Structure 1
């Protein structure tokens, strides 16, 4: 077949059009262009002193080889605290015995009759947590909120309730309409120690609020953010301090506050506030957006030392709800 004859001007125009087409494809003008990413598995896991990741949305590489074996000489324990975290195939696994690795109060005590016993703890969390707009309530029979790195459970709520009259209250009944808080009230004493923890009838030591002894062991202070736990949805939990500007790691650290306030209108069916002051029951608190630093699940999106690109994360706070009562990630 005989090719058509082109003039020099036509040949120059053809070459120019070919060059322009190639230029547009290289700038993303073609849907067929491919960007190759380095898989997270191809990066070596850093040790605890440099637990940072670059992959947005992934927690792989952060505290994936955390192993604790600490003999606890507290009179209530005299046992070894064991917890082992590992990461494989998109899952963060925990195997632990539930024994705390820090000093604890006296158990049993006058308000908590239970001894601390070893537990058989096995839990797993996704390494690719996904934030949603849905708050899923967890805690107690509705599922564990998360575990501190030492393998001790987080369980901020209680099974204690009162009926509407306030005359029939039980620390373990879980049958009344008004749920008693373990912390921040003086009407009931659940026998918690200085770690805001006590012991369930099964012998399981667990935290209702800031795990002070563990935070101290981890070197927590107002000069650092301290990752202390993993939530049930796979997102990290930090203790007390965060950046004053959530997206700026150069901003000053401050004590992070929850966004719950005491209700302004008291239900007519509530037990008398003369007997049980506001704050005694979970229903005494309501989420007020913007009144603190966090959302209804005690979390926010921001940068952290371990996640410099930013991630959704929770806080243990000195204000209500102390630990999150819900999670924002898929579970």
Structure 2
């Protein structure tokens, strides 16, 4: 048990009250204005400085929105990307805008897209399952992406069979399960290091070690690790068993499972599709997003079609809709990984070129604000002066 001597008791109470009122969408971001990132050059296990500030550099907010300025560079090392990816993580110079009062979308769900669909609390981008590669039924071959011919209709056209980046590009992920697209370093999946999974499916960490954003702990509610572009929070792999915050801790499970198919001639809803490649060792079941089907499950640890649920979390004691990063019992990532394939709320145009309204700059106190919010403080005896002893118990 630690003992901290604090003066100005009234100031402490006011500060604690202010933190309690502050939205997690404001106070959860990891800020840094001095440290710079590192990376592993391909074939060289010696870390190299990239001279780019890591994490987020500024957080400011109005009554309706929070704006996060970030480079897109994490504090943990990036690279190498051993699938021929010529890119390295570069400074994104981004300003990201999130609603402070997100709401459910009562209309047709908005489909996630290629590119950024959210931001982790360290300013690193979140992508959905896709990698821009699909199946061209006219040529009976892959299309889109490096080394392939363009897909019919161009990069924004809808295709019936879209490749899942997580199994297809595993060789190109670094130890923290990230990689860049044209310099934009991002995660498609749970951002904890490969080496920390119960069953390790990549040996990249053996030479190119990194920690990732967080460590899975199956005894505690997972930390808040990001926000989707509709403004709702994203958590790690574990949550309260019951949506009301009771029942202990459980792994949050995807409601999607592999379809029982041997040929690719129908969509997940059963309607006809363009013919995809036959199931094989190359195009195994799970290679394409459309190999999965969603099934509603009464078990509250199973998530909805957006990969989330409305529930109580440590940061939202009154409840919120929250996405979770899904993993299997071996802690390997499972589709749809974080957010998607549709948003629960209404996606905003989150990356902006400037802040167009009056804002307040949020400056975190020394230490981790999230930890401060969870402190248990006992004051005794009744203070007679403004100098008191506060004992903080874990």
Q: TM-score range by the shorter chain?
A: 0.7 to 0.9
Hey, what's the Cα distance between the residues in 1 that align with 2:90 and 2:212? 23
Pairing 1:160-175 to 2, within 5 Å after superposition: 160-164=133-137, 167-170=140-143, 172=145, 175=151
Hey, what's the Cα distance between the residues in 2 that align with 1:310 and 1:215? 30
Q: Which has the higher contact order (CA 8 A, sep 6+)?
A: 2
CA contact (8 A) 2:279 2:285 kept: yes
CA contact (8 A) 2:25 2:66 kept: no
Hey, what's the Cα distance between the residues in 2 that align with 1:45 and 1:314? 30
CA contact (8 A) 1:243 1:251 kept: yes
2:37: which partner in 1? 72
* Structure 1 alignment gaps of length 5 or more: 1-42
1:323 to 334, 338, 356: 338
3-state SS in 1 of match to 2:105 = strand
Q: CA deviation at 1:152?
A: 0.9
Superimposed CA distance per residue, residues 56-102 of structure 1 (whole angstroms, 9 cap, x where no aligned partner): xx946751674234432332562331413332221111111111221
Paired positions, count: 276
1:195: which partner in 2? 176
CA contact (8 A) 1:197 1:211 kept: yes
2:121 to 149, 160, 172: 149
CA contact (8 A) 1:97 1:121 kept: yes
State the superposition RMSD in angstroms: 3.0
2:98: which partner in 1? 125
1:293 to 302, 305, 329: 302
3-state SS in 2 of match to 1:198 = strand
The alignment's TM-score, normalised by the length of structure 2, stands at: 0.63
* Structure 1 pair 256–51 and aligned structure 2 pair: CA distance change class (3 A): farther
Q: CA deviation at 1:217?
A: 4.8
CA contact (8 A) 1:260 1:321 kept: yes
* Structure 1 pair 82–189 and aligned structure 2 pair: CA distance change class (3 A): closer
Q: CA deviation at 1:110?
A: 3.5
Superimposed CA distance per residue, residues 94-118 of structure 1 (whole angstroms, 9 cap, x where no aligned partner): 11111122122314x3432212211
Q: Is residue 2:242 matched to residue 1:262?
A: no
Q: CA deviation at 1:131?
A: 1.6
Hey, what's the Cα distance between the residues in 2 that align with 1:233 and 1:45? 29
1:35: which partner in 2? none
Q: CA deviation at 1:165?
A: 7.3
Superimposed CA distance per residue, residues 144-197 of structure 1 (whole angstroms, 9 cap, x where no aligned partner): 3110011111112210122237842246156164211111x35x6561223222
2:291 to 284, 292, 296: 284
Pairing 1:18-37 to 2, within 5 Å after superposition: none
Hey, what's the Cα distance between the residues in 2 that align with 1:123 and 1:260? 30
Q: Is residue 2:272 matched to residue 1:271?
A: no
* Structure 1 pair 169–330 and aligned structure 2 pair: CA distance change class (3 A): closer
Hey, what's the Cα distance between the residues in 2 that align with 1:113 and 1:175? 22
Pairing 1:110-259 to 2, within 5 Å after superposition: 110-133=83-106, 134-140=108-114, 144-156=116-128, 157-164=130-137, 167-170=140-143, 172=145, 175=151, 177=159, 178-183=161-166, 185=167, 191-200=172-181, 202-213=182-193, 217-218=213-214, 220-222=216-218, 223-248=220-245, 250-259=246-255
CA contact (8 A) 1:230 1:236 kept: yes
Hey, what's the Cα distance between the residues in 1 that align with 2:224 and 2:211? 9
Hey, what's the Cα distance between the residues in 2 that align with 1:46 and 1:228? 22
